[in-house]
C-alpha cells in the first residue's frame, strides 16, 4: 500500500494529542516557515506544489492566497471550512477528531502566508466531539507557543477561534459561511467582490477546506516537488482522502494518491459490492453528476472526472446497487436541496420544490410522459442563474439522473408504478475507518 499521511495513525488513540504530534515531527513546518520564509515565499511554495482545494471546486490554494491585497492596512482573516455537510462526505470529521494538529499547523502556516492574526474554524454544529477535540488542540498549541503571541519568537501573532455552526448546509458555501460568521443568517453573497478582497467583516479573507489546510505542513516539510510528484499529473497532485459509502462490503474513509482508479477502489479496496450488482456511482458528493456502472474505470482526480462530465467535488463516493430506484434516489437528494435552499433566488427555491413534487409523482406511478423533459428544463433554468452554486448543485444530479437513467424514469410512467425491487432493510457492513 502507498504511504499514508492522514490515516496512518487511525488506530492510535493519542493521535490527536500534541505530544504525539510533536514526537512525529509536528510543528516543524510552522517553525521553518516563521523563521526562514517570507509570506510571499510560502505562497510561491504552495503554488508550486499544485495543491488544489479539497472543498469541492478544486481552486489552486496558493493562487487564491495570492489574491489577498498585500498593501491593504485592513486586518486579514483565515477561515478553515469545517462545515462538512455535502451528503456522502466524511473526511474533514476524521481530520478534526484524529489529526487536529495537522489542521492547526496548516491554519497557522496559511495565516502567516496571508498575514492574518485571527483564524476561525467554522465547524458544523453537529460535530460536538470534533469541536471539543479541536478546542483542546488549540489550547495545547497555545501552551507550547505554536499559537498566540510572538509564535516561536518570530513576532507573528495568531489567535485561532473555533466557531460552531448551527445546522445549515448552505453555511458550507464560503459566502454563506461568512455571513453566518458575522452573526447573520447564512445567505450567500453575490461575487465579486471575492472573499480574498472583501470577506469577513469587509476585510480580506481566505476560506479553505479542512483537508486543503491539513496538506500544507506536508508541502513545507517535504517540498513542493515531492507533493507534485504524487498523483497523475502536475495539475492533480498530493495525497487524497476518499469517502466511500453505500452498497460496498467495506465502506469508509480511504487514502491514496490523487488519481486513484475508482473501479479498483470499489472492487479491490472496498471488497466489491455488498449484495447486488453495481448500478451507479456518485463520485464527488451528492452535488455532482452521476456515473453509470460502465463509466467507473476512471482516475479520481479533478480533470479526469471533468473530462467525463462529472466532478471530483468533495470525493464523497456514493455507490448504488441494482436495488436502488434512481427516481427515489434523486427524490431523496432533491428533497435535501429543497430543504437546504436558503430561498434568496427564485430558480433555486422554486425549482428544487417543483423537482421534488414531480419526482414524488413519478415515484408514485402518477408521472406524465413529459415529466422527464420538464425536470431537464427546470434543471437548465436553475443552472448559472443563482447567487451561489447550490442551485447548480441541485440541478446537476437531476439533469444527469434523467439523462443516464431515462429508461428507468420512463418505466415508472409507463407501468404506473415503481419497477424496481427496492431493498430498504438495514444492511451491516464492515466500515474501514
Window 31-60: contact mask with ligand FMN (x via CB under 6 A): ----------------------xxxxx-x-
Binding-site member from 218, 244, 290, 345 for ligand SF4 (CB under 6 A): 345
> Which of another protein, ligand FMN, ligand SF4, none binds 39 (CB below 5-8 Å, type-dependent)?
none
User: Grid coordinates in use for 153?
Assistant: 519568537
Answer whether the bond into residue 192 is a cis peptide, omega within 30°. Answer: yes
Residues 184-203 that bind ligand SF4 (CB under 6 A): 188
Number of residues that bind ligand FMN (CB under 6 A): 24
Smallest gap, in angstroms, from Cβ of residue 40 to another protein?
Answer: 26
Please say which residue, 215 or 324, places its beta carbon nearer to ligand FMN: 215
Handedness of CA 247, 248, 254, 259 (dihedral sign): negative
User: Grid coordinates in use for 130?
Assistant: 470534533
Window 170-199: contact mask with ligand FMN (x via CB under 6 A): x-xxx-------------------------
389 near ligand FMN, judged by CB under 6 A: yes
Please say which residue, 151 or 345, places its beta carbon nearer to ligand SF4: 345
Considering only CA atoms, give the Rg of the chain.
22
> Which of ligand FMN, ligand SF4, another protein, none binds 348 (CB below 5-8 Å, type-dependent)?
ligand SF4
3 near another protein, judged by CB under 8 A: no
Smallest gap, in angstroms, from Cβ of residue 290 to ligand SF4?
Answer: 21
User: Grid coordinates in use for 169?
Assistant: 448546509
Window 402-431: contact mask with ligand FMN (x via CB under 6 A): ------------------------------
- CA-to-CA dists, residue 325 to 173, 407, 409, 415, 417, angstroms: 30, 12, 9, 14, 12
Smallest gap, in angstroms, from Cβ of residue 359 to another protein?
Answer: 13
> Which of ligand SF4, another protein, ligand FMN, none binds 412 (CB below 5-8 Å, type-dependent)?
none
Residue least distant from ligand SF4 (Cβ): 348
Binding-site member from 362, 388, 396, 420 for ligand SF4 (CB under 6 A): 388
Handedness of CA 39, 40, 46, 52 (dihedral sign): positive
* CA–CA separation, 261 and 28 (whole Å): 33
Window 60-99: contact mask with another protein (x via CB under 8 A): ---------------x--------xxxxxxx-xx------
391 near ligand SF4, judged by CB under 6 A: yes
Binding-site member from 2, 343, 384, 415 for ligand SF4 (CB under 6 A): 343
Summarize as ranges the residues that interact with another protein (CB under 8 A). 75, 84-90, 92-93, 118, 124-129, 159, 161, 163-169, 180-186, 201, 243-247, 251-253, 282, 286, 316, 318, 320, 323-324, 329, 332-333, 336, 339-340, 424-429, 431-433
Amino acid at each position: 500500500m502507498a504511504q499514508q499521511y492522514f490515516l496512518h495513525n487511525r488506530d492510535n488513540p493519542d493521535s490527536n494529542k500534541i505530544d504525539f504530534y510533536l514526537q512525529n515531527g509536528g510543528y516543524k513546518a510552522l517553525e521553518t516557515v516563521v523563521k526562514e520564509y517570507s509570506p510571499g515565499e510560502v505562497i510561491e511554495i504552495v503554488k508550486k506544489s499544485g495543491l488544489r482545494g479539497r472543498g469541492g471546486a478544486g481552486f489552486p490554494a496558493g493562487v487564491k492566497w495570492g489574491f489577498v491585497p498585500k498593501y491593504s492596512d485592513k486586518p486579514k482573516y483565515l477561515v478553515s471550512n469545517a462545515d462538512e455537510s455535502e451528503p456522502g462526505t466524511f473526511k474533514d470529521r476524521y481530520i478534526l477528531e484524529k489529526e487536529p494538529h495537522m489542521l492547526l499547523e496548516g491554519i497557522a502556516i496559511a495565516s502567516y502566508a496571508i498575514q492574518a492574526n485571527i483564524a476561525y474554524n467554522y465547524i458544523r454544529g453537529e460535530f460536538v466531539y470534533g469541536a471539543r477535540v479541536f478546542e483542546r488542540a488549540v489550547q495545547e498549541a497555545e501552551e507550547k507557543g505554536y499559537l498566540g503571541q510572538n509564535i516561536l519568537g518570530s513576532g507573528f501573532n495568531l489567535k485561532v477561534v473555533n466557531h460552531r455552526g448551527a445546522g445549515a448546509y448552505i453555511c458550507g458555501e464560503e459566502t454563506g459561511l461568512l455571513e453566518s460568521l458575522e452573526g447573520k443568517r447564512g445567505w450567500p453573497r453575490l461575487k465579486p467582490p471575492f472573499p480574498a478582497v472583501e470577506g469577513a467583516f469587509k476585510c480580506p479573507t481566505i476560506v479553505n477546506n479542512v483537508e486543503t489546510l491539513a496538506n500544507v505542513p506536508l508541502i513545507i516539510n517535504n517540498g513542493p516537488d515531492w507533493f507534485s510528484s504524487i498523483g497523475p499529473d502536475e495539475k492533480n497532485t498530493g495525497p487524497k482522502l476518499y469517502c466511500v459509502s453505500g452498497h460496498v462490503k467495506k465502506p469508509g474513509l480511504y487514502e491514496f494518491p490523487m488519481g486513484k482508479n475508482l473501479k479498483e477502489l470499489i472492487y479491490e479496496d472496498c471488497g466489491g459490492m455488498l449484495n447486488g450488482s453495481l448500478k451507479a456511482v456518485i463520485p464527488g458528493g451528492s452535488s455532482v453528476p452521476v456515473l453509470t456502472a460502465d463509466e467507473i474505470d476512471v482516475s479520481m482526480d479533478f480533470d479526469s472526472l471533468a473530462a467525463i462530465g462529472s466532478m471530483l467535488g468533495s470525493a464523497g463516493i456514493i455507490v448504488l446497487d441494482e436495488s436502488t430506484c434512481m427516481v427515489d434516489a434523486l427524490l431523496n437528494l432533491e428533497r435535501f436541496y429543497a430543504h437546504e435552499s436558503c430561498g434568496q433566488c427564485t430558480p433555486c427555491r422554486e425549482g428544487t420544490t417543483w423537482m421534488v413534487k414531480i419526482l414524488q409523482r413519478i415515484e408514485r406511478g402518477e408521472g406524465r410522459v413529459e415529466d422527464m423533459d420538464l425536470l431537464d428544463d427546470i434543471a437548465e433554468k436553475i443552472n448559472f442563474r443563482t447567487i451561489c452554486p447550490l442551485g447548480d448543485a441541485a440541478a446537476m444530479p437531476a439533469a444527469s439522473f434523467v439523462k443516464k437513467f431515462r429508461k428507468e424514469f420512463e418505466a415508472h410512467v409507463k407501468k404506473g408504478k415503481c419497477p424496481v425491487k427496492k431493498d430498504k432493510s438495514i444492511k451491516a457492513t464492515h466500515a474501514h475507518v
